[in-house]
Amino acid sequence: MRIKVIVAGPRGKMGSEAIKMITNEEHIELVGCIDRKNNGKTLREIELATFFELNEARNVPVFENPAECFEKVEADVFLDLTVPDVGFTNTKLAIEHKLRAVVGTSGFSTEQIKTLNTLASTNNVGCIIAPNFAIGAVLMMQFSKMAAKYFPDVEIIEKHHDQKVDAPSGTAVKTMDLIQETRENKQQGHPNEFETVEGARGGEVAGMRVHSMRLPGLVAHQEVIFGGKSQLLTIKHDSFHRESFMEGIKLAIEAVMDEKHLIYGLENILDI
């Protein structure tokens, strides 16, 4: 059986790369796209961020209206690779149409994830949301959780390309969530520290600090730095190309077929 997938954000860097991955997989098929600028066209008529041979995906229809797409196109999985508010609305609509969802779009609020969680369970529909689909990044987060038990002083530096709208990254937020599962709660740094430049100490979550860098040339990078007595432990991951996320997206498309509720984080479908 081929898994039929609808992609939102096909012209984007992630969306184009996902379409490339899908067209190279025998058991996954692209059946529709959602794009705010190309209603009524077919995929071959729109300019994708990555160039590759579309083959049978050439004639895939493009819709501006997600509801229309979900009603007209028979699909198994909806994949969202857009921006947070649009991605949330699309995913909600997909689940309401009983369509399984895989979400790469980052920046959903806790409230939005809760809403999708309830909706997925009520509709018995699988949904996998992962702030980072790179398997190396998932391992970085898991190693950070292990380290935090012994090194409660920790700061995160995350670096992304300058077109990213949300900060800190979903990966950094998820890393801090995981760290909090093993780290004793403590306020870091000097109790009387102050900033002479606003934001110099970064954002604060449960006493930890997170710093977000945005520069052209970067893709997605994160260092989790733990400080101990006369020692530092740095756990670092770099994604140099959006290709690095595609193996995780492929696994999620496969795994969501058997799910009936929302799963947050790629680690929950990996054997780790």
Q: Which of 23, 38, 105, 112 binds ligand NAP (CB under 6 A)?
A: 105
Burial of 195 (C-beta count, 10 Å sphere; 0-12/13-18/19+): exposed
Tokens representing 220 are: 């997605």
230 binds ligand NAP (CB under 6 A): no
Q: Which stretch binds ligand NAP (CB under 6 A): 110-118, 128-136, 194-202, 230-238?
A: 128-136
Tokens representing 60 are: 């895939």
Residue 240 identity: F
126 binds ligand NAP (CB under 6 A): no
97 binds ligand NAP (CB under 6 A): no
Tokens representing 208 are: 């930890």
- By C-alpha distance, which of 51, 47, 3, 45 is closest to 27? 3
163 binds ligand NAP (CB under 6 A): yes
Give min distance, CB of 111 to ligand NAP, in A: 17
12 binds ligand NAP (CB under 6 A): yes
37 binds ligand NAP (CB under 6 A): yes
Residue 179 identity: I
Q: Which stretch binds ligand NAP (CB under 6 A): 51-59, 67-75, 104-112, 179-187?
A: 104-112
Give min distance, CB of 168 to ligand NAP, in A: 12
81 binds ligand NAP (CB under 6 A): yes
Q: Residue 261: CB partners within 8 Å, gap ≥ 6?
A: 117, 120, 121, 124, 126, 127
Give min distance, CB of 118 to ligand NAP, in A: 22
Q: Residue 119: CB partners within 8 Å, gap ≥ 6?
A: 92, 95, 96, 125
Q: For residue 199, is it left (φ>0), alpha (ψ between -120 and 50) or beta?
A: left
214 binds ligand NAP (CB under 6 A): no
44 binds ligand NAP (CB under 6 A): no
Tokens representing 113 are: 């994830």
Any idea which residues carry the catalytic annotation? 160, 164
Phi, psi of 166 (to 5 degrees): -100, 145
Which spans of this chain sit near ligand NAP (rule: CB under 6 A)? Answer: 9, 11-15, 36-37, 49, 81-83, 86, 104-107, 130-133, 163-164, 220, 245
